[in-house]
Structure 1
Amino acid sequence: MAGDDPGTSVHFRLQIDGIDLGDWSGCDGLGCEVELEQYQEGGNNEFVWQLPSRLRYSNVTLTRPLTRDTAKVSSYLAQLPSGVRRGTAQIAALRPDLAMLVQWGLADVVLVRWSGPSFDPNRSEVASESIELAYHGFLEVGG
């Protein structure tokens, strides 16, 4: 089953409102969680009711070494002072041959943090950047 090979060297492509922000080497935090409220029913000591309450989405952080795509992020960041608006985002997981493994559509996306490289002459590390996004739901999950 050649088509069912799991992605072992995956990278991620990010678009926000149709603007391509390039390829990223790491993606962390994509997920959601159902918050539960506990209710102890009087007279029934055998268990506690676990009642689903609200759905919470964790922020997603993408990271990469500095590349030519960093200029795309700089252009996007330059537009933020004119007004932060919620948009949509697409995060696609790609194989090394650029074949898409899966794609997530995110609703009500806000860029909450960008972190640029740290330059320290005493440390020999790759200069990297990260971008953090908050969102309020999935639009679609596909592959």
Structure 2
Amino acid sequence: MAEKESVQFPVPGFRFSVRIAGAGNNDADASFQEISGISTEVPVEEIQEGGENRFVHRVPQPLKYSNLVLKRGVVNESSGLTEWCKRTINSGFATHVELKNVVITLLSDTNKPILTWTFINAYPVKWEYSGLDASKNQIFIQTIELSFQRFEENIQNWRAAVQKLASLIN
């Protein structure tokens, strides 16, 4: 009997956690419904060489990161993240900007880390609430955008999670 071929399956992206280092008694901040902005881009500068009409030189520039966007339903309890945003945004730069590391972890079905992104020296740059509409029955959403210096990705139990998922399907 031939050995089973290893099949690769994508990992679902709906189970994750967010931690903000130094954001109060409990660094974990829960109940985020959506996270976006985990991206990196290498911008290029185009330089046209005199007398060369067949192409332009494309020179890489420093990395560019988009803002990290966190969305969650508003609850009637304050959190370390909310307090940090209030202090940073409402101060009008009268005080120094607190830089914090934000860690987002993609979790397996047993809550074991699969992928971890650490956003270095993050700070809030936008704080927004969803619109109010009496004709719709929707959750009131808070959106927080964070700027950061860079991020690091760490693959932790990727192979184990993929193997477990494959064994469940087979």
TM (norm. structure 2) is 0.68
Of the structure 1 ranges 111-120 and 37-46, higher mean CA displacement relative to structure 2 is found in 111-120
Asked if the contact 1:10–1:95 (Cα under 8 Å) also holds between the matched residues in 2, the reply is no
Preserved CA contact (<8 Å) 1:11 1:23: no
Partner of 1:49: 57
The amino acid across from 1:44 in the alignment is E
Matched, 1:16 2:20: yes
Cα contact 2:13–2:106 (8 A) shared by 1? no
Identity %: 24
Partners of 1:48 and 1:78 lie apart in 2 by: 47
Residue 71 of structure 1 aligns to a residue whose secondary structure is: coil
- Answering whether residue 30 of structure 2 is matched by residue 25 of structure 1, we say no
Report the secondary structure of 1:44's partner residue.
Answer: coil
* Unaligned runs of at least 5 residues, structure 1: none
Larger Rg: 2
Q: Counterpart in 1 of 2:159? A: none
Instruction: Compute the RMSD of aligned alpha carbons.
Output: 2.8
| Distance in structure 2 (CA, Å) of the matches to 1:14 and 1:134 | 16
Residue 60 of structure 1 deviates from its aligned partner by 1.1
Q: Could you say what secondary structure the match of 2:134 adopts?
A: coil
Does structure 1 conserve the Cα–Cα contact (< 8 Å) formed by 2:36 and 2:70? yes
Measured after TM superposition, the shift of residue 37 of structure 1 is 0.9
Picking from 7, 11, 28, the partner of 2:11 is: 7
In the other structure, the counterpart of 2:104 is 91
Alignment partners' CA distance in 1, 2:110 and 2:126: 30
Shift of the 132–23 alpha-carbon distance from structure 1 to 2, 3 Å rule, reads: same
Please show how residues 1-143 of structure 1 align to structure 2 within 5 Å: 5-8=9-12, 10-18=14-22, 19-67=27-75, 71-72=78-79, 73-80=81-88, 81=91, 83-143=96-156
Counterpart CA distance in 1 for 2:75 and 2:109 is: 17
Deviations 1:7-66 (A, max 9, x none): 325133222224222242211111111111111122222211100112111001011223
TM-score, normalising length: structure 1: 0.79
SS at 1:91's partner residue? strand
How far apart in 1 are the matches of 2:39 and 2:20?
18
